[in-house]
Structure 1
Amino acid sequence: MNKPIELKETYYRKDAKGALVAVDMICPADLLEDEMVHKIMSFAKDLSAQISHFKNDPFTDLSDVDHLDDETVRKILTLGTELSSKIAHFNCHTIGDLSDFDAMLAQKHSAWWRGKKGNCTYTSFDGLQRIKVQVQESFDFGPQLQIAKSLLDECLNEWSADARPEIRAIITRAFNTDKEGKVNRGEIFMLLRLDIDDPRWNEAMRAIREAIRVTTSKEYVRFYERDTLEHPWRPVIIDVAKT
């Protein structure tokens, strides 16, 4: 915890550069973020320690599961279920606290502050603890993709056979479907990065952008800390499978 330092009846805190800053000169939002990060990280570290203890306790060793008696299995299952419940409870409260903080800032500044796709990083005032929110999206393509394919075919038909062979190869790979009938997403996005001076090409790119549809969106929260500003970040893991 970045506790205030009292010097000549004035309280200071260390910032992310190691400098002392008078507490009454720190932005209230920064103080609130610092308090929130420290509170969440305290719970995260405690929960991570419980998970590590569960994984490393000889009692919960499942390497020889075939020879465990019924009572032992039931006890391990009970402990695992309780731990899983704690993780779910922690995740729910963490996302709630972060959302409340976001809403407070949004109301204050009349604008949403999270980055592209909802990704955001929250850092303690001293720069030693960090919470990262990352949103992972799954997507598919709508019928506009076929319109784009037709327009690109028109471009290829009018270009000479030896013109832009690398672009022809990308288009071919992009629309070649796999066993599940899906196009090559990586190559599709490669097309969007190309700068081609052709009205039909530009219309095809617009159709591709309109075809992109987000099907699912999942939010991940990750926790990091370091001992000093010179040390690398190390993760605080809240995952039974990864400890």
Structure 2
Amino acid sequence: MNYQSEFKPADIDDGIITANGQDYMTDAKGSLVPLELIKPADKLEDQTVRSIMGYAIALSKQLGRFRGHTMTDLGELDSLLAEQYDLTKGGKKGNRTYSTVDGLFKVQVQVSDLIDFGPQLQIAKQLIDECLNEWSEASRPEIRAIITRAFNTEKEGQVNRADIFMLLRLDITDERWVRAMEALRDAMRVIGSKEYVRFYRRETVASGWEPVTIDLAKV
């Protein structure tokens, strides 16, 4: 089925501006270009992108509404369970799972901490640099690569959180490295949290769970 028949796209104008009886389109620099001077291939590309974006924007809004309704429904269920049965879903962090009676469908809510890093991060970086400079040729290249990615030296103040956590898992006993890892842990600050909703289904209770994908890159 053609996706264009499945739902109504958002309204996107055709990009054509009429002034003094002449049709123009605005280029990327903000200049008005007479419509007849725009190459047919560029016009076709423009029309195709605008058509796709109309559906993409509509789908994004629809997903936003769906997430809002989902969290509202689960919140109302939590309140009802707490009020009528004195039962609270989830653990200390707020992670919780909801299932159907037949065990074939489930909805999971995962709460992840949003982490930022304080000034101790720079102390950790200095200690790690000392280790690297001394180890130099003896240090494994993969460790050097992780450290380079973690601190992202091309963009001051930015770090790769996944690689920072990987550094913390490395089993290195050098006293300066241990102090650096302590500084990294002290630098971590929880500045908030974000809830993620995931959906799963399976054919039978003996089958493995399959995610119901709501991610364009994985559909």
Q: TM-score, normalised by structure 2?
A: 0.55
**Are residue 114 (structure 1) and residue 94 (structure 2) matched?**
no
**Shift of the alpha carbon at 1:118?**
3.4
CA distance in 2, matches of 1:84, 1:168: 41
Cα separation, partners in 2 of 1:204 and 1:131, compared to 1, 3 Å: same
**1:73-129 deviation per Cα after TM superposition (whole angstroms, max 9, x unaligned):** xxxxxxxx99977863552231242366579446xxxxx9527x5333233443222
Alignment of 1:39-188 (within 5 A): 61-62=8-9, 88-98=68-78, 101=81, 104-105=86-87, 113-114=90-91, 117-157=93-133, 159-166=134-141, 167-179=143-155, 181-188=157-164
Letter in structure 2 aligned against 1:190:
M
SS in 2 for 1:126: coil
1:35 aligns with: none
**Shift of the alpha carbon at 1:163?**
2.2
**1:41-85 deviation per Cα after TM superposition (whole angstroms, max 9, x unaligned):** xxxxxxxxxxxxxxx895953388669xxxxxxxxxxxxx99977
**Shift of the alpha carbon at 1:140?**
2.1
Letter in structure 2 aligned against 1:164:
S
Cα separation, partners in 2 of 1:89 and 1:61, compared to 1, 3 Å: closer
| RMSD of aligned residue pairs (Cα, Å) | 4.4
**Shift of the alpha carbon at 1:190?**
1.9
Note if contact 2:128-2:176 (Cα within 8 Å) is conserved in structure 1.
yes
Note if contact 2:90-2:97 (Cα within 8 Å) is conserved in structure 1.
no
CA distance in 1, matches of 2:210, 2:198: 11
Letter in structure 1 aligned against 2:179:
E
SS in 1 for 2:137: coil
**Shift of the alpha carbon at 1:214?**
2.9
Aligned residues: 168
SS in 1 for 2:138: coil
**1:132-186 deviation per Cα after TM superposition (whole angstroms, max 9, x unaligned):** 11224432211111111122233334x3432224334433343233446412333
Gaps of 5+ in 2: 15-60
CA distance in 2, matches of 1:61, 1:123: 32
Higher share of residues assigned helix: 1
Note if contact 1:133-1:221 (Cα within 8 Å) is conserved in structure 2.
yes
Which of 187, 205, 213 is 1:229 aligned to? 205
**Shift of the alpha carbon at 1:202?**
1.3
Note if contact 1:87-1:238 (Cα within 8 Å) is conserved in structure 2.
no
Structure having greater relative contact order (Cα 8 Å, sep ≥ 6) = 1
Cα separation, partners in 2 of 1:208 and 1:100, compared to 1, 3 Å: farther
Fraction of identical pairs, as percent: 52
Letter in structure 1 aligned against 2:111:
V
Gaps of 5+ in 1: 1-55, 68-80, 107-111
CA distance in 1, matches of 2:209, 2:79: 24
Q: TM-score, normalised by structure 1?
A: 0.50
CA distance in 1, matches of 2:205, 2:123: 53
CA distance in 1, matches of 2:210, 2:204: 11
CA distance in 2, matches of 1:234, 1:134: 17
**1:167-215 deviation per Cα after TM superposition (whole angstroms, max 9, x unaligned):** 3443334323344641233332221111111222112111111212233
- Higher mean alpha-carbon deviation, 204-213 vs 168-177, is at 168-177
CA distance in 2, matches of 1:233, 1:120: 16
